[in-house]
A and B are shown apart, each in its own frame.
Chain A
Amino acid sequence: MVEWSDFERSTIQNIFANMDYDVVGPKALARCLVVYPWTQRYFGNFGNLYNAAAIMGNPMVANHGKVVLHGLDRAVKNMDNIKATYAELSVLHSEKLHVDPDNFRLLADCLSIVVAAQMGTAFTADVQAAFQKFLAVVVSSLGRQYH
């Protein structure tokens, strides 16, 4: 089981309590599709992903970004059992969606950068460490059921 310090717990709760999921989600996913274009392979039916402007303005990308961020909420609310919380989602991403789990790490990196841009200097080194630890646990749990 993952051990969370009081600082880490409160930091994670704070970040997500003050976050606009419907803004951050779309931004993070769009950034991921631009910065790591091979991730577009999973979104063949999303229409126009031709360039950054198209990706950032694409309503299906925006929508899916919201879905992903709201999915992250489950981990925020179950920090002591993220592995079990995401077991089903892990199976889904493996068996049905066939997503290379390295992509979770790429999206997590983009999310860190989007949150850093939103929070500015409030995103201190300690806050970044806590946030990235949280995302690392999420990423690991989502990859856990692959075989």
Chain B
Amino acid sequence: MSLSAKDKANVKAIWGKISSKSDDIGAEALGRMLVVYPQTKTYFSHWADVSPGSAPVKKHGKTIMGAVGDAVGKMDDLVGGLASLSELHAFKLRIDPANFKILAHCLLVVIGMLFPADFTPDIHVSVDKFFQNLALALAEKYR
């Protein structure tokens, strides 16, 4: 399910609208994920506080969205562009790739919540495909 030219245009368009709030979106999605899918907390046992709105959650949400924004600019070659991030996730973080889907869903919910008029079904499918391709690129080096 690779990205068509239309998908890339859609992703760039919605990113233009939401990027000013990307820190908030990241923090909200991450915080939400930890509540709605408690098994994801297992990756953050080193944080004192995993509650939504806490400092580590905000900081990490910002980090993640920074990488997502970076990926928007690398849509023509996500595997190449995300190679070092993939190595990080494969060899150091070793996050089960099933969790990428979970975070993607939470990101979609937050974008839909904050930008209901802009997050039309057409945009939704392109963004979902983008997240899927991002996840695949991230899992590239796993095995």
Interface residues in chain A, defined as those with a beta carbon under 8 Å from any beta carbon in chain B? 30-31, 34-35, 37, 52, 55-56, 109, 112-114, 116-121, 123, 125-126, 128-129, 132
Contact of A129 among B36, B110, B116, B121 (CB under 8 A): B36
Contact A113 B36 (CB under 8 A): no
Q: Say how far A66's CB is from chain B's closest CB, in angstroms.
A: 18
Among B32, B105, B109, B120, chain A packs the most CB atoms within 10 A around the CB of: B109
For the complex of A and B, the 5 pairs showing the least CB-CB separation, nearest first, are A117-B116, A34-B121, A125-B35, A125-B32, A129-B36
Contact of B121 among A52, A109, A125 (CB under 8 A): A52
Contact A128 B121 (CB under 8 A): no
Contact A34 B36 (CB under 8 A): no
- State the main secondary structure of chain A at its contact with B: helix
Tell me the chain B residues, 83-127 only, with Cβ under 8 Å from chain A. 105, 108-110, 112-114, 116, 119-122, 124-125
Contacts of A128 in B (CB 8 A): 32, 35-36, 109
B52 interface residue (CB < 8 Å to A):
yes
Interface size class of B (residues with CB under 8 A): 20 to 34
B31 interface residue (CB < 8 Å to A):
yes
Contacts of A109 in B (CB 8 A): 105
Contact A116 B128 (CB under 8 A): no
Contact B113 A121 (CB under 8 A): yes
Q: Say how far A103's CB is from chain B's closest CB, in angstroms.
A: 15
Contact A116 B109 (CB under 8 A): yes
**Bound Cα distance from A11 to B55, whole angstroms:** 28
- State the main secondary structure of chain B at its contact with A: helix
Contact A30 B121 (CB under 8 A): yes
29 A-B pairs whose Cβ atoms sit less than 8 Å apart in the complex: A30-B121, A34-B124, A35-B124, A35-B125, A35-B128, A37-B125, A52-B120, A52-B121, A52-B125, A55-B121, A56-B121, A112-B105, A113-B109, A113-B112, A113-B119, A114-B112, A116-B113, A118-B116, A120-B116, A121-B113, A125-B31, A125-B36, A125-B52, A126-B35, A128-B32, A128-B36, A129-B35, A129-B36, A132-B36
Interface residues in chain B, defined as those with a beta carbon under 8 Å from any beta carbon in chain A? 31-32, 35-36, 52, 105, 108-110, 112-114, 116, 119-122, 124-125, 128
Can you add 20 more A-B contacts, CB < 8 Å, to A56-B121, A113-B124, A129-B35?
Answer: A30-B121, A31-B124, A34-B122, A34-B124, A112-B109, A113-B109, A113-B112, A113-B119, A114-B112, A116-B110, A117-B112, A117-B116, A117-B119, A119-B113, A120-B114, A120-B116, A121-B113, A123-B109, A128-B36, A129-B36
Q: Say how far B135's CB is from chain A's closest CB, in angstroms.
A: 15
In the complex, which residue of chain B has the Cβ closest to the Cβ of A30?
B121
